[in-house]
Every structure is written in structure tokens, then in C-alpha cells.
Structure 1
Amino acid sequence: MTTPNSLPQTAPAVIIGGGIIGVSTLYHLAKKGVEGAVLLERKQLASGTTWHAAGIVGQLRESSAQTELSKYTARLFTELEIETGQATGYKQNGTLHLALSDIRAEQLRRNHDHAARMKIDSRLLTGEEINDLWPLVDTSDVHCGFLVPSNGQVNPLDVTQALAKGAKARGCKIFENTKAIRILTRDGKVVGVDTDQGVIATEKVLLAAGMWSLRFAAEHGVTVPLHAAEHFYILTEAIPDLPRTLPGLVVLEERLYTKEDAGKLLIGGFEARGKAWGRDGIPESFEFDELPFDMEHVEPVLEKFFTRFPALETMGIQTFFNGPESFTPDGRPYIGPAPEMPGLFIAAGMNSNGILNSGGVGLTMANWMTEGQPARGVASMLAARAHPFQKNKAYNAERVTEAIGLHWGLHWPGRQIETARGVRRVPLHDRLLSAGALMAERIGWEVPMYFDAANPVWPERASLGWQDWSVRVKEECIAARDQAVLIDQSMYGKLLVQGPGAVAALNHVSGAELDVAVGTSVYTQFLNEKGGIEADVTITRISSEQFMVVTGHPSQIRDQAHIRAHADPAWRFEIFDATSAYGLLTIHGPQSRAILQTLSEDNLSNEAFPFGAAREIDLAFARVWAIRRSFLGELGYELLVSSEFTAHLYDEIMRVGSAHGLRHAGMFALGACRLEKAFRHLGHDIGEEDTPYETGLGFAVKLSKANFVGRETLARQKATYGTATPHRTVSMMVEGASAETGPYLIHNEPVFKNDALVGHVTSGGWGWRVNAMVGLASLHNEGGVTKDWLEEAGFHVQIAGRLYPIRVQLGAFYDPAGAIMRG
């Protein structure tokens, strides 16, 4: 490697961290022609977590974009050795998953459908076929197997060295035994990195320091929530005649995995509750270190392994290994720009997926650092989703004991986080619990999902379809249709944008016109340079120089950063995060107006207070900003009230509402109703790669206003296609489905027209008001996804291997004209 005394004075980019993620980013910067980019490693390359990774390379991920990035990683590993001459140890042995239950078997059948849509070869196997591949495994209780032959395994140290060699061959530099001490800033922006060997001037820094990232970032006021946990595996003695082509094997329900390793088996697992490591910081001397092996802790997983592989019970163990890996509170990595510090990028918290993420993340970060945006959407992994409280070390240390288990095990809609609970509570938290709220955790918030005062305990029965709470959700949805429901959405982000330049700043990032009359609420999207959707918000003008932006609770930090990143320095405005300053109670249903009118002398008639209007009104003894909107598609109001008045307002609404059939509702009911109305959900139905015209949101774009981010792209799209874009989000309904037996739409199910693949489901579920299985799908047709094309016969959706006829249409299935919520 380059010697420390040749540290350059300047560099186009500096990477902190010499694990596989940092080295991959350097390699991809080099391939993009960024000569002279620098990587700093405090010890030796790969000496933190990378060196002891299992090296299993999978491809199927939760979204199409992420799957494409994982496919790229697998392809890169096949080409890297040829390019650099450095061996990587990459073998495409495949990966075999076993299902021990009906729900896991259904998940694997759905994965099989998803793989075919993504053009990844996969196979569903019987017990006999599994034994042909894996003669040592007991399949007596196995429902089925799922094989992806093109998955593989790699030697982490070798592939890191190959990436490093490729980067240096193109003029990038690596400095080992060089510690980054501090990122230097001027006016809040990156201007350099101070190291123990000198200072490097740069305007772009990537923090890819793995388990060191939390504390290093926090020292700079930057949030990167993660913590190290102990991860255990064993290596057997040599097994006679063990095929070197044996696929990696995963038994999710038993939390174990194994792979062939030079004639031996490497056996590991992810226990339901792990052990946090490095609570007081990581020792300065840490380099290729192992931790003490805790046999008592890991024994339950190993016992399951030897029961699953009885022929190996007498097999000797050559190595007992324990090494640290970093995990994040929600089990997803943090990548992208740091919202607190322009010029700083993050790529950390890989959750034991660093090897299989390495190629795609390296490519993504290189694009971001050179072009200002990633090539593919990565919304669920954005660094800007982190909230400042998540810098708390104790929070991360407790959550990581469960986060390692979240990486493995069955995932289903009722799977609940148990650690670090009760961190963030809405003002009505205790009242909601008394009313029977069942709470889930979202970024620390306790969020009411449904209400059941008679049985306020989360069900333990895992299901992908009918749930133990389905009856309660049905009651809430029907009440919204026939009487009224109250939903506490106080955890939603509330951003007060104010100042003479506020309207310019918001208009610049929004597709809709924001220079509207005071007392007007506007639905709009924040856009990127490609016309893609970065945020889905409502904005209310509450005075000539004040706007209130209401956004989803995951987007509280991200949306502020997006406004600031695109603002002209000459514009005079400020953003105040008012999330905790206001409660947000929403009331929906035909009785909602009568309930509120009982508490107010203001005129709430449709003539005086139409849909989309916003008024500051008297309500009980409080002053409230009332906004005529409803994400349920009913007559409804969003009530922004100062936090100290929230309890009073709630008590009064519930008191007068009882005579009108008012009841509580939670997020499950909100989600079911929004599907019936075909309202898009950011992160599922819309994202950075989707434009408003492609998602049926073109009505929220005003091309005639002054220049705004993404306008040129949208103008070209409009001129080329009009309303008949080749890609379009549509509503769909599964013919003949039932709430009790399904089939259930969830996400990623392929959609066919006759025998041709034409798209996939973005979200779905049972609609209680229309009594049908409904969803949203992204469809493709070169001639345009038009009303006439959709009305042609032959549309089907594939769910767990079976085809079902569907109805597809541009508009919603519930009140498609929107007459109810405008009445």
C-alpha cells in the first residue's frame, strides 16, 4: 500500500474505512475516472468485520432496485478476478432455503415468483430433490426448498484485495495505518479530513467505518445509528467426500446457515437475542481480533443444527469463532448524504450483508458522490431516515441485542420490536392505551395500529393473510364509512417553513404551485433532478410567509435536508421542526363535520370550508388549524393543535362523538382505506425512480410555474407521452378472493397480460369498504398504459405460484370520483 509520508494535500474524495464497502466505493470512483481519490484505514484493510464474514452472496432483496444492485454485485465478483488478476474465491454454488412451516413455504413460493420477474433462475424443490443436493440434511419436516443456483460465496479478504488492486490501477490511493481524527468543515460544509499523518483538503468524504461509525459520526453531530453485536460460527473438521459445489443452506426458522468451506462446513446462526459488544467503545488496538466464544449462549442454535444434520453429530469442530458485526435499529443499512453536513456521505450498518451489498453499494455511492444522485432508488436505506435521538449509545446497545435476530427469523406484519420501546410517545399515549390501542414501534414512536380494549395483546400467530386483528380493522374501516373514526397521527413530521424566501424554497422542490392564498392546503411531491419523487406531503399556507409541511414520520429529517440542499443561498427562510410542538388528530367519516360543528361556532359547511381549505378555528377551548383532507377518502379533517391542548381536544371530541358513533382507528385501518382509494404510499408505490406522470399524480404538477427541480424531465415526458406513459401505476382487484382465505396481495407479485409479464404489485391488502382484495401495481406497455389497454381482457396476478384473474383500472375502486371526501 501507499506509505503514510506520501499523503496528498488535496483529493477529489476521501473515504474513511478500509472494509469492503469503503474499498468497493474507491474502486467504483476509480472506474468513473475520479483519479486521486483517497482511502484511509486506521489499521489494515478488512481488519474490522470484513475479514471474518461468511462471504455468502445472495441476490433477491425487498425491492426491484435493490435486487438489481445485488445482481450487479454477483456479476462484479465473476468479472473482478479476470480484470485484476487477483483471486476472489468466488464460486456460484447457489443458495438453498428450507421451509419448515406453511407460512415460510408461502414466502418461498412468493420469492420464486419474484425471482422469475427479476430474471434470476430459481427452483422449488421437494424433500427428495433437497436430499439429492444435500444428502446430510434431515427433510422429514421440510415443506419445500428454494434454490437460487446463481447465488454464491466469496473469500472476503481476497475480494477486498482485488477491489483495492483495481482502484490503485486507476490512480486511486490507499493509506493503511492512517487514522482519520476529524472531518473539517467551513460554514457547516466539508472542506477536509484531519489525520494522524496530516490534513487532506477535500469537499467530499465517505464515512464507511463500520462499527466505528456511530461514535465517529456523533462527534461531528451526525446520526448513524448502529452498534456492534457478537456473531458466532463454527468450522468443522474436514468432511470426507463433501462436494465443493454444495449450495449454501439457510433454515430461517431455526436461525442457522451453513456453507462449504475448503472441504469443511462453516455453521453459523443469528440468535433471537444477541449480545451487544463495545458498549464503552472499541479498543484502539482492535485489528483482526476475535472475541471469547460463549458456548452457553450459542448452544441452542448449534443444537438445532446437529438435529437438522444428524450425520454430523459426531463431527469434530476445528474452530469456534466469535467476531463483531454492526447492526442498525431497523435492520437496514444507512447510505447516502448526511443531512447534517453537506459533503459528507454515509455507507455503514450493513447488518451482516456487507459482502453481498458491497458491489451495489460501492457503485451507488460512487454515483452519488460524482453525479449528485444514485443510479437506482435506495429509499429504504437512506441515511437521512435516521433521527437525532438515535445517536443515543444506550438505545443502540439495547436494540442491537434484538437487531441481530431481526436479520433472521420469520417476517410477518405482526412481528414486533421488543427492545428500546416507549422512547417516543404522542401526547395521548396513555389515553390511547386505555382505549385499547395495540402499539407498534416506528423510529422510536409508539404508533397505534388497531384497537381492541377486550384483548389488548399482540397476537403471536404468524400469518401473511387473515390476521387475529382483522375483525377489529374491519370494524374501524366500516365505522369510517358509516359513522366516524379518530386517528392520532401526531407522530407525523411537521415542518414550519417561514421567511420571505419560504415560498421560493418550497416551490423550487415541489411539482405543485405553492404560491397560493393563505388558508389553502396543497398536496404535492418534492422532486429530484430526474423528476423522481423524494417526498409526498401536504403543505398549508398559514400566513404570507409561513407554510406548514406535514410528512410521514420516517421523512421528518429527509424532507428538511431536501429543501435545504436545493435552496438558493440568497433566499431568506428557515425551517423549524415543529413535530413535537403539535398534535395531529384526524377525524374521518360522514359524521365528522357534525362532531366538530358541535364543538365550534365557526362555519364548517362545505360552502364555507371546502375540500383543500385550511382554517384556524375555535374547537372546544382550543385554537386549531383544521385542514379539509382525508387519507381514508372520507369526509374528513386534519387537526393541527398545540401539544398542550391535544388532550383537552381529544377528550371533547370523544365526549361529543359518542352520540355519533365515533370510535378509534389505527394505522392498519388507514392503510386498508388508502388502498381502496388508490392513494400512493411513499416507499411502496412511489419513490425516487418514479415520476408523478408515471404514478398517476400528474394532477399535482404545474409545468407552467417558474423553474423547479425536475421540470425539464417532466416537460419532456409530458410532451412525448401526454397521459399515455409507458409506465403507470394502476388500481387492481383480485377476482374471487376472500378476506379469510385470500389469496393476499402484499408486494412484488408479478402481473401478466395473457402470457406477457407487464408489471408488479407495489402494495396490496383487503379492502373492507369494497369487500375485495385490492392493490396498486406498476404496469408497462410500450404503447402507453391507457384506459383502453387496461379494459382489454387477460390480466392476471401471480401469487405464491398461482395465477389469478384481476381487474385493473386507472382510478380507485372506492369512490373513484372523490365525491365523498369533497361533500
Structure 2
Amino acid sequence: MTDLPTTARAVIIGGGIVGCSVAYHLGKLGWTDTVLLERKKLTSGTTFHAAGLVGQLRTSANITQLLGHSVALYKTLEAETGLQTGWKMNGGLRLACNAERWTEVKRQATTAHSFGLEMHLLTPKEAQEMWPLMTIDDLVGAAYLPTDGQANPSDITQSLARGARMAGVKIFEDTPVTRVIVEDGRIRGVETPFGTIECEKVVCCAGQWTRTLAATVGVNVPLVSVEHQYMVTEKIEGVTTTLPTLRDPDRLTYWKEEVGGLVWGGYEPNPKPWAQNGIPEGFHFELLTSDFDHYSQFMEDAIARVPALATAGVKQLINGPESFTPDGNFILGEAPELRNFFVGAGFNAFGIASGGGAGMALAEWVATGAAPYDLWPVDIRRFGPAHRSTDYVRTRTMEAYAKHYTIAWPSEEMKSARPTRRSPLYAHLKAAGACFGEKLGWERPNWFAAPGEEPVDRYSYQRPGWFDAVGREHRAAREGCVLIDQTSFAKFTLKGPDAAKALNWIAAGNVDRAVGSLTYTQMLNAKGGIECDLTVVRRAADEFYITTGTGFATHDFDWISRNLCGDAHLIDVTSGSAVLSLMGPKSRDILQPLTEGDLSNSGFPFGTAKTIFIAGCPVLALRVTYVGELGWELHMPTEVAVTVYEALLATGQITNAGYRAIETLRLEKGYRAWGSDIGPDHTPVEAGLSWAVKMKSGLPFLGRDAIAAQLENGVRKRLATFTAAPDTILLGRETIYRNGQRVGWLSSGGYGHTVGQAIGIGYVRHPEGVTEDFILSGSYELEVASDRVPATVHLAPLHDPQNLRVKS
């Protein structure tokens, strides 16, 4: 191959729909010095055998927006490139066959309305009129999204490739990448059998080959291959080209029209992993052996839904491997292990729906160094150490695949690959009745069963089985004292002569304070968006101790380390210490007799930290709270955790509590949660956190100019708290209406056991600006499962530890 260039601005590995979409969008951004390399032929990996359904609705507004970009692109791509795409915007139906599923569908409709996506609720008869071939005897209702559709995966990919070439991007088939060249921790280029291409950026969109290829340069991409089957029928009487796509999750199946027949498949509860010992050499444009026995589990339910299947001819049962991930979301972003190595993979059999938007987002990420908007649900940094184990990833992925069409219960926990990471107190907490959840491999107590209760989650769209137990723990925190094992906190140490200077540039709050000070702070991007939300303790002139949420360990370590300057070194010390949070109005009275240290308010003020001794054991005590009560986070070496725990419990005045009580407590206090209430798309000004930003100091920090502009010019959204009647079930994603107009959606929701009301937090949006007066002068409703309920808005905490009050 003589025309292979020797240099490029970026090299894309993989010629499926995602790789070609990245190439297309990079070309549109002016990155014409981009090369795409495909080991065999375009689409020959998994794209060519995709079913081609294009749905848009997800629980994240931004992922829904990303999928909407796919639809907008597919509408115009054929006209732009002259190549057919097979795109049809024939809409999509989703069925519900029982009351709980109908509640889920109605909540999905509310979510769609929140995000501005059109979605209609239908009666069974109305659904049948749109899809006449189906029976409706068991239907409770259905939802219809008119902008959903279907496409031909190979045609769309070829059209994207032509669009990329038209923009100047070079595409080479039959050109495998044999090595990604890394020298001194930096990408230098890629090797092929036909020569080396020097480049600074590599975009790995190699589908199910991505995990193995990325691992050669130390990058972890948690995905595995799973067999996925669908059937193609001969022509069926009554199947028209305008038939909407159909999803019947209670029967685990999906359907679409193709050449007068039906393509239909499903997500079985007993999926079959593939290529457990590696993908066969040279595998391309290949299908797996059809497994009619395995597929037969769908047949009875499918024929009951579409009786014409019983006599329809079968063209083919297609069995093709797809890459799936441990949480069912795809993987995008720059790898935390290697700068300028980007990943777009693991699309869980909805790569066609995601391809256009994912390619756009990843191209912008490559070109600008940042995602176009918050993509945390699919960010590669959401994974942790456990995901380096292929056995762990495969076990968890099989569960995620099997749950693809099951009801997505609120607060549902995964059961597989557990336990993995355990606190030293795990056995003690289990004996005390803990019902554990899991986060990034850590076992964490969610709630505690009382004697006679079973510590088992019972899920519901109404009151869940743990509601009363959490209420007990909530009230104990407000009235007495609770102890919460938060050992899973991510914990970092920053050391070095330039540590204070470096950290103070990254932190929006002033962390360059006296030794022993504790600072709650955000870390911002250049647009003022919140990238991290954490606490910082100054241990010495050149040393800081940083604590952040369990699930943000990889993300926050990456953000801090990539923005450090000077002689400062970040070390992950999570495994070295256990954390016990002692919270409640009686916490001082309980803790003081156990230590020689002065715990009085004057001797140990809020926002400070110091070492005390409990039962002869050294404990770094942090005077801070996330529940809105007097209390301390007690950080200690893991080897003394049991001793300290037993000494505290021996007082007989402490109640064990879990993470679900933390959630209800923080909602009453109005504390923000990163990943839901705050994130890269939200600034401290918009989130009501301006008080935590060092604007008055005059000190420089990353994002300062953006914050200054907002303080001067105002904002177009602002976070507020809403309360509703006690029997209202708020989960997040409910639509906010102000004076009858849609103005946003809830980012968090729950119940306040002290205030006795449903509580939600969400942004009020208005293109002409949002002020306190604008928010407080409105009359509010929340759309909950497609019904509107009255709500009261608040800009102050609902609970004050000194004087309980509800403000409206």
C-alpha cells in the first residue's frame, strides 16, 4: 500500500458505524488530516449484522440529546452524500403488559416530555391500530415516539464514510493496526503492515476488539462479546413499510419491518458469552452458528403477540457477536491511563441508534479536549479497579444483558460478581442486619433490617420495601446519633513543594489555608462547569488529603492529575483507610468520653480536622456533614477500624445507618450530588454554590472568568428544591412546570422523613434569565408518571438543625 500517509493529526482504528461517524464529524470540524484504518472491510466487524432499530429515550437528558443527534443526522445524510441509508422515521411503540410496567412507561413518557422529546401514551386499541398484526389481550397500554425509526446499518456506515472522504479524511481498508506506539508515556503513532503513521491522537473504535487492543497500551475498556440473535421472516400479509418499530419488554422482544417481513429478536435471561478465549484470527463478515434451541425460549411469547409468526416463513436466524458492557451503557472518552487515547466502543447492540451522536461527541472530545456536554453515564472514567478483571466484567455483563428488557426498578442493585471490595467492618455490619449495595466493586450498607426483618431489597415504583427502615435511620440521625460505614470513599493524598499552589489553581474554593483546615470545594472546567465536588484537608504545608465519592474515584483522580502543575504528586490512598461517619445531635456527647481531644465547638470548629485517639487508635476526625447534623467523619487506618467501631457501638447510644438514609437526609438539607444535581454542565452560580467559590479573594483559578461573567450577567437556569404531598413518589426526571410552562426536570427525588413531604431537586430554566424572584414568583407543578401534582418551590434548606422549618 503506497498511499498510506506517514503522518496524521489523528488516527481512527475501526471502520464500523462509530469509527466512520467519528471520521465524518472530525472532517466537519476541519480535521481533514485524519486517517481511518480498518483491519478488513468497513462494517465487517459487527455493524453489518446489526438489527438497525433507532430509539432515542434514555434516563439521561444528555444521552437522549446524543441519540437525537443521530436521528437528525440520519434524516439528511443521504441527501448530503448521495448514498442511501435506509433511514425511515416510522416511529416506535413500547408496550406494557402489567401495572408496574405501565408505571415505568408513564414515567418514561414524563422523562421524554422533560427533555422535549415527543412521546404519547396510547390505549391498547390505539396501539393495535398502529400495529394491526399484534394481539392486545394482555396489554395495559403503550407509548409511541414518532421520531424513532430504523436504518440499514451498512448503508449508513458507507454514507458516513463517503461524507468523511468528501471532507478530506482518508480511509484505508485491509489495514490492521499491529501496534500503538507509546514512548515515554505519550502516543507517537501506529504501526501497520504497510508502514507507520506518526500521530498524537488515537481514537479506538474497534468494537469487540477494543478491550484487547487498548490493553496493549495499558488502557482498560470493560466490554466482552455476547451472542445476539434475531430472526428474519419472509413476507407477511399486513406488514407495511410504515409499520413502527415495536418493543415488547415484558416478552423480551423487539420488532421491525424489513422487505415486507419482520425482523425480530430479544434479550434472553440466559445470554451466551462468546470468544472467551479470544476472538478468532481473521474473523470478519462472519456470523455464528444459529442456535435455534436457545432462541426457542422466545417463540411461544412471540407467536402469542404476533400470531402470523406461526405460519410465516423463516429466511434466516442471524447470530452475531456484539460487545456489551457491565452496566449496559456504551463507553466514550479519553482514557485516564493514557493521554490522547480515545475510546468509542461497547454499544450493547444499540450502536446504530448511538452511532451518529456518539461520533459527534467523540469527535468534539478529540478536537477540543472536552466533551460537548456532560456524558458521565457513558464516560470511560466511570469504571474502577475491579473492571480490569475480564472474569468480573463478563460476569457482570451477563447480568446487565439479561436485564436489558426487565423493569428498571428505582435504586435496583446488581447481584453478580459480589462481594469484591469489602470494608473491614463488612462482617460486623452483615451481622447487624445490613442490606448491602455495590458501588465500583465496594460493598456498602444501604439500610439495616430490624430484628425479625429480612435484609433484602423489595423494589417498587411505589414505596419500596426499605422505606420504613430508612425512616428509622433518618429519624435517628435527626434526633440521636447514627454511624455510617463510608470506607468506600475515594481518598487521595497530594504532596510536594508546589502542592498548595497547584491545588489552589484547580480548586474553586481557597484550599491554601492553615494546617488543619477543611475546605468543601468544587473543581471547574474552563466554562465554569463542575468537574469535581470534594473536600480537602490540609495536613501539612506540602500535603493535602482529598476525599470524594466512591463512584468518582477514577474520574476525579484523572481530572486532578491532568490539571496539576509544578512539583506535586497525587497518590490514591483509598485502600489505606476506613471511614466511619458519626452524625447526629448527640454525636459530641457520645464521642467526647471516648477521646482526650477537645470536641467542643470552640475546640473543634466546623470545617477543621485533627487527629484524635479512640480506644487507643489514631483517627483523623473531619468536622463536616452531608446529612445536615453535628458530626464527624472518622478516617483511620484499616487495621483499627474494627476496634474503633466496637468502641463506638459499646456506648449503646448509636444506630447503624446506610446510604439510603444519607440520600433522604441530604435532600432535606438541599445538599447537591455530583452526577445528578451538579456536573460539567452546571456552574456553582447555577447550583447555588457561589458561596463556595473564592471570587472575593482575587486569587486565580480554573474557570474563574466564566463564573465572573455569570455573576455579572446572570444565569439561565438555577437549582431549586421542590416539595409535594407525602404520597407523591419522586424519583428524579419528573418534569417541572412553572405557571403551566415546562421549565426543566428534577435531577434528584425522594422523601423527607423529618419534614414529611416528597422532595425533589432540579433546575428551573428560562432563556431570558433566572433570578431568585423569578423562581419564587412562580406557581409550580411536577409531572409524575404523566400526572401533574402541585408543588412548592424552595431556595433554602428544608431542614435547619437548630430550628426545623419548611420555607416556601
Q: Same fold, TM exceeding 0.5?
A: yes
Q: 1:706 aligns with which of 699, 712, 737?
A: 699
Is the CA contact (8 Å cut-off) linking 1:744 and 1:773 kept in structure 2?
Answer: yes
Bigger Cα displacement from structure 2, 775-784 vs 255-264: 775-784
Q: What is the CA deviation profile of residues 355-398 of structure 1, one whole-angstrom value per residue up to 9, with x for unaligned ones?
A: 11111111111111111112121012111122133121211222
Structure 1 letter corresponding to 2:667:
L
Bigger Cα displacement from structure 2, 676-685 vs 697-706: 697-706
Q: What is the CA deviation profile of residues 194-227 of structure 1, one whole-angstrom value per residue up to 9, with x for unaligned ones?
A: 2222211111111111111112112211111110
Q: 1:50 aligns with which of 47, 52, 55?
A: 47
SS in structure 2 opposite 1:74? helix
Q: 2:528 aligns with which of 523, 527, 531?
A: 531
Shift in Å, 1:342 = 0.8
Q: What is the CA deviation profile of residues 499-539 of structure 1, one whole-angstrom value per residue up to 9, with x for unaligned ones?
A: 11111221122110110111111011111111101111011
Matched, 1:582 2:572: no
SS in structure 1 opposite 2:2? helix
Is the CA contact (8 Å cut-off) linking 1:602 and 1:617 kept in structure 2?
Answer: yes
Shift in Å, 1:36 = 2.1
Is the CA contact (8 Å cut-off) linking 2:20 and 2:157 kept in structure 1?
Answer: yes
Is the CA contact (8 Å cut-off) linking 2:764 and 2:775 kept in structure 1?
Answer: no
**Which residue is 1:810 aligned to?**
795
What CA distance in whole angstroms lies between the structure 1 residues aligned with 2:356 and 2:803?
A: 46
SS in structure 2 opposite 1:765? strand
1:109-124 matches, within 5 Å, as 109-124=106-121
1:304-323 matches, within 5 Å, as 304-323=301-320
Q: What is the CA deviation profile of residues 76-96 of structure 1, one whole-angstrom value per residue up to 9, with x for unaligned ones?
A: 001000000000000011110
Tell me the TM-score normalised to structure 1 length: 0.95
**Which residue is 1:349 aligned to?**
346
Q: 1:778 aligns with which of 763, 781, 792?
A: 763
Cα distance 1:252–1:28, how it changes in 2: closer, same or farther (>3 A)? Answer: same
**Which residue is 1:506 aligned to?**
503
Shift in Å, 1:573 = 1.2
**Which residue is 2:194 aligned to?**
197
Cα distance 1:454–1:212, how it changes in 2: closer, same or farther (>3 A)? Answer: farther
1:423-462 matches, within 5 Å, as 423-454=420-451, 457=454, 459=456, 461-462=458-459
What CA distance in whole angstroms lies between the structure 2 residues aligned with 1:284 and 1:390?
A: 25
**Which residue is 1:258 aligned to?**
255
Bigger Cα displacement from structure 2, 417-426 vs 629-638: 417-426
Structure 1 letter corresponding to 2:798:
F
SS in structure 1 opposite 2:71? helix
**Which residue is 2:751 aligned to?**
766
1:94-133 matches, within 5 Å, as 94-133=91-130
Consecutive unaligned residues of structure 2, counting only runs of 5 or more, are: none
**Which residue is 2:669 aligned to?**
677
**Which residue is 1:325 aligned to?**
322
Matched, 1:520 2:517: yes
What CA distance in whole angstroms lies between the structure 2 residues aligned with 1:127 and 1:115?
A: 20
What CA distance in whole angstroms lies between the structure 1 residues aligned with 2:273 and 2:395?
A: 7
Is the CA contact (8 Å cut-off) linking 1:678 and 1:775 kept in structure 2?
Answer: no
Bigger Cα displacement from structure 2, 400-409 vs 477-486: 400-409
What CA distance in whole angstroms lies between the structure 2 residues aligned with 1:34 and 1:688?
A: 25
What CA distance in whole angstroms lies between the structure 1 residues aligned with 2:178 and 2:588?
A: 60
Percent sequence identity over aligned pairs: 40
Shift in Å, 1:115 = 2.3
SS in structure 1 opposite 2:392? helix
SS in structure 2 opposite 1:180? coil
**Which residue is 1:726 aligned to?**
716
Is the CA contact (8 Å cut-off) linking 1:96 and 1:148 kept in structure 2?
Answer: yes
Is the CA contact (8 Å cut-off) linking 2:506 and 2:702 kept in structure 1?
Answer: yes
SS in structure 2 opposite 1:6? coil
SS in structure 2 opposite 1:79? helix
1:614-763 matches, within 5 Å, as 614-656=609-651, 658=652, 660=653, 662-703=654-695, 704-721=697-714, 725-734=715-724, 737-738=725-726, 742-763=727-748
Bigger Cα displacement from structure 2, 517-526 vs 558-567: 558-567
What CA distance in whole angstroms lies between the structure 1 residues aligned with 2:443 and 2:159?
A: 46
What CA distance in whole angstroms lies between the structure 2 residues aligned with 1:8 and 1:211?
A: 27
What CA distance in whole angstroms lies between the structure 2 residues aligned with 1:639 and 1:213?
A: 42
1:412-491 matches, within 5 Å, as 412-454=409-451, 457=454, 459=456, 461-491=458-488
Is the CA contact (8 Å cut-off) linking 2:326 and 2:394 kept in structure 1?
Answer: no
Structure 2 letter corresponding to 1:572:
D
Report how many residues are paired.
Answer: 804
Shift in Å, 1:557 = 1.4
Is the CA contact (8 Å cut-off) linking 1:279 and 1:393 kept in structure 2?
Answer: no
Structure 2 letter corresponding to 1:731:
T
Shift in Å, 1:548 = 0.9
**Which residue is 1:799 aligned to?**
784
**Which residue is 1:175 aligned to?**
172
**Which residue is 1:607 aligned to?**
602
Matched, 1:142 2:139: yes
Structure 1 letter corresponding to 2:310:
E
What CA distance in whole angstroms lies between the structure 2 residues aligned with 1:588 and 1:83?
A: 61
Bigger Cα displacement from structure 2, 126-135 vs 116-125: 116-125
**Which residue is 2:271 aligned to?**
274
Structure 2 letter corresponding to 1:215:
T
Shift in Å, 1:819 = 9.7
Shift in Å, 1:424 = 1.2
What CA distance in whole angstroms lies between the structure 1 residues aligned with 2:85 and 2:607?
A: 59
What CA distance in whole angstroms lies between the structure 1 residues aligned with 2:328 and 2:67?
A: 17
Cα distance 1:238–1:434, how it changes in 2: closer, same or farther (>3 A)? Answer: same
Cα distance 1:324–1:705, how it changes in 2: closer, same or farther (>3 A)? Answer: farther
SS in structure 2 opposite 1:365? helix
SS in structure 2 opposite 1:770? coil
Bigger Cα displacement from structure 2, 286-295 vs 513-522: 286-295
**Which residue is 1:215 aligned to?**
212
Shift in Å, 1:321 = 1.4
What CA distance in whole angstroms lies between the structure 2 residues aligned with 1:663 and 1:117?
A: 39
Shift in Å, 1:763 = 0.6
SS in structure 2 opposite 1:199? strand
Consecutive unaligned residues of structure 1, counting only runs of 5 or more, are: none
What CA distance in whole angstroms lies between the structure 2 residues aligned with 1:705 and 1:386?
A: 37
Is the CA contact (8 Å cut-off) linking 1:633 and 1:818 kept in structure 2?
Answer: no
Shift in Å, 1:458 = 6.0
Q: 2:592 aligns with which of 571, 593, 597?
A: 597
Is the CA contact (8 Å cut-off) linking 1:227 and 1:400 kept in structure 2?
Answer: yes
Bigger Cα displacement from structure 2, 189-198 vs 573-582: 189-198
Matched, 1:185 2:182: yes
Is the CA contact (8 Å cut-off) linking 1:677 and 1:816 kept in structure 2?
Answer: no
What CA distance in whole angstroms lies between the structure 2 residues aligned with 1:509 and 1:408?
A: 42
Is the CA contact (8 Å cut-off) linking 1:614 and 1:627 kept in structure 2?
Answer: yes
SS in structure 2 opposite 1:271? coil
Cα distance 1:259–1:462, how it changes in 2: closer, same or farther (>3 A)? Answer: farther
Structure 2 letter corresponding to 1:71:
G
Q: What is the CA deviation profile of residues 695-738 of structure 1, one whole-angstrom value per residue up to 9, with x for unaligned ones?
A: 111111112343221111111111222xxx3310011101xx22
SS in structure 1 opposite 2:590? helix
What CA distance in whole angstroms lies between the structure 1 residues aligned with 2:504 and 2:271?
A: 48
Is the CA contact (8 Å cut-off) linking 1:328 and 1:400 kept in structure 2?
Answer: yes
Shift in Å, 1:473 = 0.5
Structure 2 letter corresponding to 1:621:
G
Shift in Å, 1:112 = 2.0
Structure 2 letter corresponding to 1:673:
L
Q: What is the CA deviation profile of residues 730-757 of structure 1, one whole-angstrom value per residue up to 9, with x for unaligned ones?
A: 11101xx22xxx3211122111111222
Shift in Å, 1:800 = 1.5
Shift in Å, 1:66 = 1.5
Shift in Å, 1:456 = 6.7
**Which residue is 1:21 aligned to?**
18
Q: How large is the Cα RMSD of the aligned pairs? A: 1.7
Q: What is the CA deviation profile of residues 69-117 of structure 1, one whole-angstrom value per residue up to 9, with x for unaligned ones?
A: 1111101001000000000000011110001122221222222223233
What CA distance in whole angstroms lies between the structure 2 residues aligned with 1:292 and 1:770?
A: 60
Shift in Å, 1:690 = 0.5
Shift in Å, 1:810 = 1.0
Is the CA contact (8 Å cut-off) linking 1:767 and 1:773 kept in structure 2?
Answer: yes
SS in structure 1 opposite 2:372? coil
**Which residue is 1:334 aligned to?**
331
